[in-house]
Amino acid sequence: MENEKNHIIPYRTFLFVLAGLITLTIISVTLTQISLGTLTVAAALLIAAVKSFFVLRIFMHLKFETRMFSIGVVAVTLLITVVIIITLLDYLFR
């Protein structure tokens, strides 16, 4: 386990990731100029999720850390999502 953390990510990987993130940002800006209602918002959030995935996995090193951290991130995200959904069950069905 200690060995994994000695892994240093090469420059190129970092630069590619940034290039990808900027591209996705630009895509989300242009895509959302088309007005498709909920679909537009969903697309924007999906792109945001993809960007987060790369920030977490590469910049924050989760790809090379013990699985526990990734499970924690997923669990916490799930927790907030479920709490928000349950709260919406109140507002949407009043």
Partner 1 sequence: MVVLYHGLALLSLFTGDGPPDTGWTFYVPYSIKTGTNVTLAVSAAFILGMSSILTGINFITTIHRMRAPGMGWFRIPLFVWSLYATAWVQILATPVLGITLLLVIVERVFSVGFFDPAKGGDPILFQHLFWIYSHPAVYIMILPAMGVVTEIIPVFSRRNIFGYKAIAFSSMAIASVGYFVWGHHMFTSGMSDTARALFSFITFIVAVPSGVKVFNWVASMYKGSIRVDAPLLFVFSFIFLFSIGGLTGLINGALATNIHIHGTYFIVAHFHYVMFGGNGFAFLAGLHYWFPKMSGRLYNEKLSKIGWGFLFAGFNALYFPMFILGWQGLPRRYYDYLPKFQGLQVVSTVGSWVLVTGLIIIFWNLLRSVKKGPPSGPNPWGGTTLEWKTGSPPPDENFEEIPQVTRGPYYYREGGTTEA
Partner 2 sequence: MKDTVLAGRDTAGAKLGMWLFLFTEILLFGGMFLLYAVDRAKHAAEFHAAAEGLNRFVGAANTIILLTSSLTMALSIAELRSGRRERSLMFQSLTILFGCIFLGVKYFEWTAKIGHGIFPDSPELMKLPKGQILFYGLYFVMTGLHGVHVLAGIVVLVFMLISTINRRITHHDYVRIENSGLYWHLVDLIWIFLFPLFYLIT
Distance, CA of 63 to CA of 46 (rounded, Å): 21
Cα four-point dihedral sign 77, 80, 83, 84:
negative
**Applying CB under 8 A, what is the total number of residues that bind partner 2?**
46
Amino acid making up residue 6: N
Structure token digits, residue 9? 């990510």
89 binds partner 1 (CB under 8 A): yes
Window 24-63: contact mask with partner 2 (x via CB under 8 A): -xx-xx--xx-x----xx--xx-xx--xx--xx-xxx---
Work out what residue 26 binds among partner 2, partner 1, none; the CB cut-off runs from 5 to 8 Å by kind.
Answer: partner 2
